[in-house]
Chains A and B, each alone.
Chain A
């Protein structure tokens, strides 16, 4: 059975691998998505072949692992993230050694030109008032209030390291969500925040960035990381982008995408057109109806395949669990444990084995669907009155005939209830598939969160809720149809 499932997955992944197009990916924030679109537009313009772009994948580790596994060919990253996070297993990699460390893994990188560093930012009038030019100048203002991103507050190399490096006396430091910190700064509730140097808000509010005169913050130079086995023309397209964007350029692009709501692909087309001197059409944006229909197909595909596979495996396993009590306890325990694995952790475990996209998502949904089905098959079969089983045996029915003619029909309503539970859970969980590039209703939700756009979030959330309700209704109906008429009478009585 497991072999059968592996076969399905293999066929599906083979279908994906057959497309030799270049696969671009990006992480779940606007700058990354814009840079991903630029890489795609540049590669398409140079090679004349279509390239795909898996947007908004959930985290550096996920995308980097996918790159190593060959599921992704290129994505935008930062040297600091590569050095301190992704390659931290190598010990601290020197900025100079970074290319060598990547080459060992069959990867290359091209510096895009700008850096997206940590910085300390203030409103310009406040900076003038307090007479601040460098971070060290903050020592003269022990009462200044700071609002820094939660991540910066927690990290070893974040606030604590900065405080030590500059002997800063401030104690009024709050952790907050990055976008909210800007609002608090503008409204004068806090004096100082941490910023990323390409944040569009820096230009929008003309913020003053304090000089890091002690060189505390490491460089987070933006790079395209890509596989060394990428076709030469595609590599040339990426190296041609070297040094093409400075911090001000990137800030402007971020502003247009994040604040003005321009589409990332339109911005990328415009930028690459200027770079190459040839006109490039932006990818046409689909209307909402087409978009939702596309997401619905993806979502149904994820849930449907996972459910069918789960039923094929879980029903026999549930029967075996009911027949062999000792094995039953082990099996119920095992599928119970599977259920407790957090979905994000499961994805990370599955990526080295199955890459990103639909295959690991379906596999994860399959695993989560096992428990409700196995448990209900077991409950349905063990709940049959012993007298009925004796009667079946005494008639001379074989074990198989007893199962088919008596036990399964009697357990059918309970089994269907388990499948229904699995289906409703799977519809909800499948939205998480978007963080590893499986599409579905999770995609507009991710984009909506990134752009702080409620309509976009609802474009994913509402259909997902409707689909869950539809599933519920559909299975209620199926449950009624599959319940033998004689049993419906008993329930009515």
Chain B
């Protein structure tokens, strides 16, 4: 059996007396896409941030089969994308993309160009500042930035939520193609069930800091583990 990209055992997060994440077990297989889905405050983003080492957690976390001792080396194998791209406003798109390469003394200009092409970014757009780019362009730059160091894993926190429907559909296609073409492991957080279905047949539905059900959309429909699952599906259908 192949090694899990992430293996979480009994992982929980507490901020003082507030529980953000109840103990969770989760395995992420390499080369597959996993979607964390749930309403606001369900702990899905917290779980993703645990996997990026941005949140201190209790329990056991293995990355590529080994416990993490130094997050900084692990993060070079992880690409992290947030809503609206999370670009640094004082740097141009290109400077954003190459920031970490520059820190490491790597020349990734060619790779940046290839990735930009893959995400349909125009070369002149790379020399603009985030404020001069549209929401979709910013998100594309964010994705390119995350991919520059050729990471094994992409962590995507609501990457499409801030976009209007047409751009969103376009970018969803591109993103799926990129993940498949480059053979990346991806973990995507969303509150949209249709988006979740589009990206993967392995969904993790969360509520109030715990996992409610894990499986494909079809299995959610056929065998809901909890009345909440049915309610969540119906709410999505209504709108």
Contact = CB atoms under 8 A, between A and B. Distances in A.
Given A401-B103, A486-B129, A396 B86 contact: no
A493 interface: yes
Contacts of B132: 489
Contacts of B76: 396
Contacts of B80: 390-391, 394-395
Interface in B108-124: none
Contacts of B82: 387, 390-391
Contacts of A173: none
A401 B103 CA distance: 8
B100 A395 contact: yes
Given A390-B54, A486-B91, A395 B75 contact: yes
Q: Is the interface of A mostly helix, strand, loop or mixed?
A: helix
Given A390-B80, A486-B91, A487-B89, A395 B99 contact: yes
Contacts of A398: 72, 103
A99 B149 CA distance: 84
Residue with the highest number of chain A CB atoms closer than 10 Å, among B76, B90, B145? B90
A127 B207 CA distance: 99
B131 A489 contact: yes
A405 B99 contact: yes
B78 interface: yes
A397 B145 CA distance: 13
Contacts of B11: none
Nearest to A390: B54
A232 B75 CA distance: 77
Contacts of A394: 52-54, 75, 78, 80, 155
Contacts of A405: 99, 103
Contact of A410 (B75, B89, B131): B89
Interface string B49-85: 1001110000000000000000011011010101110
Contacts of B83: 387
Interface string A385-428: 00110111111111001000110011000000000000000000
A486 B131 contact: yes
A479 to B, nearest CB: 14
B92 interface: yes
A142 interface: no
B86 A489 contact: no
Contacts of B91: 484, 486
Given A390-B49, A390-B82, A393-B54, A490 B89 contact: yes
Contacts of A493: 131
B228 interface: no
B38 interface: no
A115 B10 CA distance: 92
A466 B19 CA distance: 59
Nearest to B87: A391
Contacts of B103: 396-398, 401, 405
A390 B86 contact: yes
B130 interface: yes
A342 interface: no
A406 B88 contact: yes
A306 to B, nearest CB: 30
A133 B90 CA distance: 84
Residue of A388, A391, A487 with most partner-chain B CB within 10 A = A391
Contacts of A388: 86, 88
A15 interface: no
Nearest to A385: B86
Nearest to B101: A395
A486 B93 CA distance: 10
Interface of A: 387-388, 390-398, 401, 405-406, 409-410, 484-487, 489-490, 493
The 5 closest A-B pairs by CB, nearest first: A394-B80, A484-B90, A391-B86, A486-B129, A396-B75
